[in-house]
Structure 1
């Protein structure tokens, strides 16, 4: 389908909406307040631009946009059969309202060819702020906020602005995106700079406490190999061996990495249901049974805490139930399956599939970045509820929508 430019494409409101996406992408890694402000303003400006020029909404018919909107519609409908109390239903609806960000970004980027790449650069700049903050934590030079606007750890528990899971996911993508850019033709100093930048992003992951970051980095490096290398059996074996040696070396020299991995093995093999990974085992057991009980449409929007309540009472017997509520099982597919059944989780994977298919249709740097993003997000969402969490959801939906907009624009121009 051809997507021609309209006379309103250069209008001031639409340009303002596009420009607001840049600081939104920049602020996501380190500021919830700025993230919410810029995304909210971009949404308002988009609605005003859409009123002035309805052709702006043409990409809403593309597969990824439709999947996001259908999933959101199912979330809203799921409130009618939910077993959860009204406040839980409303909270879940607010959580998944973030799905609107993907079609918003698609519509604003599909006829602005340079915007997706600029948004990626602004996002990496925000990740540089996050990574620099972690280095300052190690040096005991990171200031804290007297008003509690941001959190800061210490050398034994290094984090800043975001938790370990969020830091690991964002920086693993940033590191691999920098390495990806270095694989394209360019002069030697710029390639060296991108490689150094990738290491700058990767080091805080390996020296930190977030196991999700380890997985994200591993997945990203392997996806990078699949995207940019000539694949042979021998080369695949050598790459797998090299990555394994890398992580084994980090295990030997990094106390945090070794401690976290040893703790994972201990918790998984123990019967302590109250430990973090023992709790994940309970989530899987209870969640799977809940899906079996209601496989098609699930227990309704926001229902996980009610479904898990009996197990929660058993684990924390004698403790007030309100202190031990668990609203999500640290797995986005499982959370959607419990709430919205196989239809809901099917739409989720259809969304990821639509993004991946567009990324692989015609390859270029932005399309490869989208494929890398889908790989890291898709795998880490298996053991984290990423659409439920604000930072990871806004980060993924905004970048994925922008890069997908680039892909459909190129596809439309070729047809």
Structure 2
């Protein structure tokens, strides 16, 4: 079954007034929008003070370095401050230098840090080194699967998935779901995630539940099960009231499904007080574009570019930059797309190259790119939308029509602005 399916909860009639069904209720989530109390961050900062004091007394102790690296990684998750992730990286590297035993554990920790930074090839090198050690190989195999998927090494990912197979294991099921989604089987992906959710709830494992509630919410959204998605995000916030990801997804739902731009911006504004991430500006820019506010679009895009220029981000925001530069500086978009393909050659990165080629006036090259590397290799709506634009530019109206029919069921995932563009295909 293809990933793009018809969304029944939100009826969108292209070319006419959009009808939005009410899904959310601010009474459900208002209590989570407080900007004065951040329980996750506050708890981590208290722990930081304790371990930092111990580390200052002896900076060679592995225990202190290990705890501090984890705390700084958590602070990155809680605040979005990229410097916290870089501090964590330095501490893990020092741990690797000092450690005489359990090297594989430190190698995996550094690989996890690099994955967060989108340094996938470097992470793979570290994991391959960790795999030489006899202990905890399954943990290494799981991470190697994650990296292989990011790098587009799908044969290796398939082999690794077979090595970790255990239908009673939460970590296996969530990876099997990712594999199923990659292969275009959204129903199977949701089935495996629901099995993982049952395990998380039966064990009452807070970490598992936080992961599954937020991630399965996304899959429910792709399937048009917006009520289920909404309830999953609320469950995430019940466990972690300052969970930034769930709040961002609520903002998207209010905007994309209900067309309530004022409320979407209210949620984002509260979120952005305590969590800093450049992509929030892009969402606000899209909302402004939907409202027809061109000056606000320029303002928010400029703020994104300024934030994303922090060298600490490295390649983390390349995909966003390619999409933005394709409209304004296509040659720069081409350079970034080439870099991104070098980092990870996947159908999703190749579709960005094709889009940049199209915007730079190289429509034949764009066509070659998508037909060789994209079509038949991904069901991602954004990739298929860009493919449709490329087909249209090359006068291939029959292929445009086929993709348009598929894309009309992806309005929630793509958002109202792109939905209007699909209507023009």
TM-score, with structure 2 as normaliser = 0.29
Larger relative contact order (CA 8 Å, sep ≥ 6)? 1
TM-score by length of 1: 0.29
